[in-house]
Amino acid sequence: MTDEVEGLGSIPHAYYTRERPQTGVVLLPGQENHDTGEHPENARRLPGVVKCLRESPEWDRLFVLSPRYARLEDAVRSHTEGFVDSIEKACAQAPSWLDTDTCVSEGSLQTCLLATGGVLSAVDAVAMEAYHQPDSLFTISRPPGHHSGSDRAMGFCLLNHASIAARYAQAVYGFERIAIVDWDVHHGNGTQEIHWRDDSVLFISMHQWPLYPGTGWHDETGEGEGEGMTVNIPLPPGSGDPEYLQALEEVALPIVEDYRPQLLIVSAGQDGHAADPLSDQLISLSGFKAMAEKTGELARRLGIGMVLVHEGGYNVSTLPAIDRAILSGLGGFEVPLDDVFVPSPQIPPADWPERLSAVIKSQLPYWSVLR
Ligand SMILES: [Zn+2]
């Protein structure tokens, strides 16, 4: 069912007639088959999240989707065939390493194809018009993908789920404009590399800088046809809710709105949380809820579906609460948001105003909405 809405054209009925947005999760079996041992990105990250969600009062409100496997032909829209072959060979010789941070076990490729397939299933669910169509879906999956480039694994990542999902949506649904917003604490350098010269995918990364992998300065804006389609917002160490929300509301979301994408993909890493061992950022549970809420509100206003991918997030004890906070922002319900890990008062990073001005200056030639 669709309706004509002034300024938005024909959009699915579900998006604006519901009192409350419908959100949910994609849950994946067999995540332990990507066996990384004592690595920070390990099989203990997600079972606690799933258990917590299943036992939460909001569980009955969530749309729950089962994944399917992505096909190799899906993966090679973003990666070279040689790279996918190299993962397969590494799995056959497992345990082995694809880079200094990225190890594989025998079941790693299949686990990755299921994680990517979960994102593709989510794209189908939000893109196909149906009576029970959710507004947004969050794929609870591992390993992460946003460091993985067209022909290399990197930083715990094998297949780039967000990029593969964008190319899938273009190939299957004919979408011409996809936006990927990446709030993982690390720069999404793999996604940036794949779409560096691509004007059909807008990529916006909000990340701690300096931090691994070292890229993502504000003057990296894309090249060729993709010039102006890469937006980097490097936040200083010690940034918390005020800085992230300012980056989102004053740069990322206005650009997304101006671009008018037909699908919004979020690389929704949780490693910017105050208790994460791999970063210096101070985002609280309330901050994650607010980022999800504001991004979800924009997607609903634009009448488009939104898919969130579980990237980094390495404190196993806080991940369940962060994921609940994100889902509460998407679904418009309440969850506990007390956060003992966030210092009070917070000291704003002194160089943030200067960074934000530099980002806006780099992007103004392409996005007049920032004026
Ligand atoms: Zn990360």
Which pLDDT score is estimated for 326?
98
What are 202's strand-pairing partners?
179
Q: How confident is the model at residue 29 (pLDDT cuts 50, 70, 90)?
A: confident
Report how far ligand 1's centroid is from the alpha carbon of 312 (Å).
4
Q: What domains can be seen in the chain, in order of their start residue?
A: 2-370 (3.40.800.20)
**C-alpha closest to that of 66 among 26, 32, 111:** 26
What's the Rg (C-alpha) of the chain?
19
Report how far ligand 1's centroid is from the alpha carbon of 156 (Å).
9
Per the listing, tokens 């940036």 go with: 192
Which pLDDT score is estimated for 84?
97
DSSP codes joined into one string, 11-46 = EETHHHH-SS---EEEE-TTGGGS--TTSSS-TTSS
Dihedral, CA of residue 350, residue 355, residue 357 and residue 361, to nearest 10? 160
Position 8 pLDDT exceeds 70: no
Which pLDDT score is estimated for 1?
41
Q: What is the pLDDT of residues 148-172, one digit of tens each?
A: 999 999 999 999 999 999 999 999 9
Position 42 pLDDT exceeds 80: yes
Whether residue 349 has a cis bond before it, omega within 30° of 0? no
Which pLDDT score is estimated for 131?
76
Which residues in 161-197 are b (16+ Cβ under 10 Å) and which e? bbbbbbbbbbeebebebbbbbbbbbbbbbbbbbbbbe
Q: How confident is the model at residue 12 (pLDDT cuts 50, 70, 90)?
A: low
> Between 177 and 43, where is the model more confident?
177
Cβ-contact 28, 141 below 8 angstroms: yes
Q: What is the pLDDT of residues 120-135, one digit of tens each?
A: 999 999 998 887 889 9
Which residues are part of the catalytic machinery? 147
C-alpha 98/C-alpha 90 separation (Å) is: 7
Q: Determine the average pLDDT of the residues in 330-337.
A: 97
Per the listing, tokens 């258990």 go with: 51
Q: What is the pLDDT of residues 204-232, one digit of tens each?
A: 999 999 999 999 999 999 999 999 999 99
Report how far ligand 1's centroid is from the alpha carbon of 149 (Å).
15
Report how far ligand 1's centroid is from the alpha carbon of 5 (Å).
38
